[in-house]
Structure 1
Amino acid sequence: MYQVSNGIGFYVLATYFLAAIESKFLRAIPYEIELIPQEEYRSKFCYSVAECRASYPRAMDRGNDFFKYLLSRVVVSSVGGIPKYNVDEDTVIRYMWDVHQAAVDVGKSQLSDVSFYSSETERDFFMDFLLAVEFSVATLYRPYINSTAEFLVGFPHRPLTDQDRNVLASDVTVREKAFMSSVKFFSRTNEATGGLFLTVWKIAMTSEAGRAAGRFLIKRLLLIPSL
């Protein structure tokens, strides 16, 4: 699990970093950047602006949209040398999540095989979790430290085994069991409706009232019980 989540995380971080270079958001880099590859996974990732642009143009486009939006803003202050822009919070969060989801979609397409996971049960949970995140993204869930830590408080503390598929081991906490049941609810309901659940959810999240209700439901399903 941790190897694969790091792999998905690589796509997200690499997309942000390389798109920041390509969009000229990072202006003081006078040479070409290439990330150091892990040779055993060389074909699964991209390591430079040119490679990622050629292989995953949609993800790079979303990254460019995000940084070009920031470049279009005016710096109004600086905290510890970090500029603060006159951005609209919802707009910048929407751009940020668009990059995140595009990069996750790439990672899922490359790392869906069970051989990348500790077990089939682990792979299924991870895919359920990523779908639950997509539901959360539609609400413009705030990606701040406290809210992110709160969101992940029930995440399993260890990789799952196939013995956990039907009966979870005694070391899995009540909070973790509730979290896994919640992410499975999103996945199974969406599957049963042929993807209509997510489609209707995204439509409902186009209004501020809908997003507020959506964030409330996410908290109820994923963050309770809080033990």
Structure 2
Amino acid sequence: MAFLPLWVFVLAGCFSVSLAEASNLSDLYPPLWEESPSQFSDYRVENGKHIINPWVYPDRIGAYRILLNKTASYFEKFAPENELNLLWGLPLQHGWQYSSGRLADPSQSTDCGYESGDHLCISVDSWWADLNYFLCALPFLAAVDSGIMGISSDQVLLLPPPKDQKKFCLSVATCQSSFPKAMKKWKDFYQHLKVASSSFEDLLEYLWAAHTATLENTYKSFEDRFKYYSKPEANFGRSWLVNVKYIAAIEFPTTLIRTHDFQKVLPQRMLVDGDTAPFISDFTELQNMVLLGIKLIYEVDKYTGSLSLTIMETLMKTPGAKMVVLKLMDKILEKATPNFLEIITN
């Protein structure tokens, strides 16, 4: 199937840019990580509840930081310094959204998220921010409910956005009620995390099941946000959502180093009218290549009615297939990246 080599080439570009070991892992952390809350006591308390405002970047990234801190001990058996914690993919993606301007108000009717205005604000009109909300709130609150976080389920509350409040859940109880399937998937992940005999591969399977269930249960509520975006950016968002399903098919290890390297080839700014990969002048060749590949995968998926995804998922159930694909991705990057653009366009 011609689609498989294309998919592997694209993900090789995405996820294996260098795989270089950092001299200091803290250099790879998301923006403002060290300045964000690191424990529940860093948030204010009202009526016995820790109040978190997920519409302010430090508060939301702080929730991730607490989650990474509280789960660190469970990943010690895999590597030191929490580097192989599979939850790193969540805050690192949020950090990329922040640094690339994707958390700002796309309608430009407010100064929320802009350097010239309230640069730490997260806009409820941002499609990226809304989907990320659930990839923060659900894993975070499910961890609280599973007992990993050290507080009871009624001791934390998320503040609502300034509008569309009914689209969001704010506590363990309301998220459990509104998104039971996704919450169960995250709780399954944490339950297996607490089992000493769980392997790295087992945890990857549960993590990606929870991740994809979260997106499937929430993305339709925010289709209207695309009206605020340029056509290239809206298309990129839709394409990225589909591509995540293929990334999930191989259960890619969302560890600190790999995910950090992945960020390097994503668009470092919002796409505007006139941006057409592979001819975006202020993007690197690799960024242009990956953006083009993401679009092609989306189009193949749409043309085949997601049959390509079904075939991919079936192939990945073959014993050893995922490991072979991951190793192939690394080899492709090492030997073929300089000629990648010519390969993919031909």
**TM-score, reference length from structure 1:** 0.82
**1:209: Cα distance to partner?**
2.5
**1:51: Cα distance to partner?**
1.5
DSSP 3-state at the match of 2:254: coil
Q: Distance in 2 between matches of 1:97 and 1:166?
A: 29
Q: CA 1:12 to 1:157, structure 2 compared with 1: closer, same or farther past 3 Å?
A: same
Between 1 and 2, higher relative CO (CA 8 Å, sep ≥ 6) is seen in 2
Pair 1:32-2:143 in alignment: no
Q: Which moved more, 1:55-64 or 1:123-132?
A: 123-132
Q: Which residue pairs with 1:160 in the alignment? A: 271
The alignment-based identity, stated in percent, is 25
Q: Which residue pairs with 2:222 in the alignment? A: 111
DSSP 3-state at the match of 1:54: helix
**1:150: Cα distance to partner?**
2.3
Aligned with residue 166 of structure 2, among 24, 43, 51: 43
Q: Which residue pairs with 1:80 in the alignment? A: none
Aligned with residue 184 of structure 2, among 47, 61, 70: 61
Counterparts of residues 29-178 of structure 1 (less than 5 Å): 29=152, 31-71=154-194, 73-74=195-196, 86-115=197-226, 117-165=228-276, 168-178=279-289
Structure 2 unaligned runs (5+)?
1-100, 104-126, 341-346
DSSP 3-state at the match of 1:2: coil
Q: Which residue pairs with 1:2 in the alignment? A: 102
Q: Which moved more, 1:191-200 or 1:156-165?
A: 156-165
One-letter identity of the residue aligned with 1:20: A
Q: Distance in 2 between matches of 1:144 and 1:183?
A: 21
**1:140: Cα distance to partner?**
1.7
Q: Distance in 1 between matches of 2:171 and 2:150?
A: 16
DSSP 3-state at the match of 2:158: coil
Q: CA 1:11 to 1:26, structure 2 compared with 1: closer, same or farther past 3 Å?
A: same
Q: Residue 94 of structure 1 contacts residue 140 of structure 1 at CA under 8 Å; is this kept in 2?
A: yes
DSSP 3-state at the match of 1:34: strand
**1:194: Cα distance to partner?**
1.1
Q: Which residue pairs with 2:109 in the alignment? A: none
**TM-score, reference length from structure 2:** 0.56
Q: Residue 122 of structure 1 contacts residue 160 of structure 1 at CA under 8 Å; is this kept in 2?
A: yes
Q: Distance in 2 between matches of 1:150 and 1:117?
A: 29
**1:66: Cα distance to partner?**
0.9
* C-alpha RMSD of the superposition: 2.7
Q: Residue 138 of structure 1 contacts residue 202 of structure 1 at CA under 8 Å; is this kept in 2?
A: yes
Q: Deviations over 1:22-59 (max 9, x none)?
A: 23333433743210111224233211112111211111
Aligned with residue 179 of structure 1, among 286, 290, 302: 290
**1:125: Cα distance to partner?**
0.7
**1:178: Cα distance to partner?**
0.2
Q: Residue 122 of structure 1 contacts residue 161 of structure 1 at CA under 8 Å; is this kept in 2?
A: yes
Aligned with residue 324 of structure 2, among 202, 213, 216: 213
Q: Residue 66 of structure 1 contacts residue 96 of structure 1 at CA under 8 Å; is this kept in 2?
A: yes
**1:200: Cα distance to partner?**
0.7
Q: CA 1:214 to 1:135, structure 2 compared with 1: closer, same or farther past 3 Å?
A: farther
Q: Residue 136 of structure 1 contacts residue 215 of structure 1 at CA under 8 Å; is this kept in 2?
A: no
**1:6: Cα distance to partner?**
2.8
Structure 1 unaligned runs (5+)?
75-85
Q: Residue 19 of structure 1 contacts residue 60 of structure 1 at CA under 8 Å; is this kept in 2?
A: yes
Name whichever structure is richer in helix by fraction: 1
One-letter identity of the residue aligned with 1:149: H
**1:117: Cα distance to partner?**
4.7
Q: Deviations over 1:152-191 (max 9, x none)?
A: 3210111112322588542232221101111112111111
Q: Residue 178 of structure 1 contacts residue 224 of structure 1 at CA under 8 Å; is this kept in 2?
A: no
Q: Which residue pairs with 1:15 in the alignment? A: 138
Q: Which residue pairs with 2:123 in the alignment? A: none
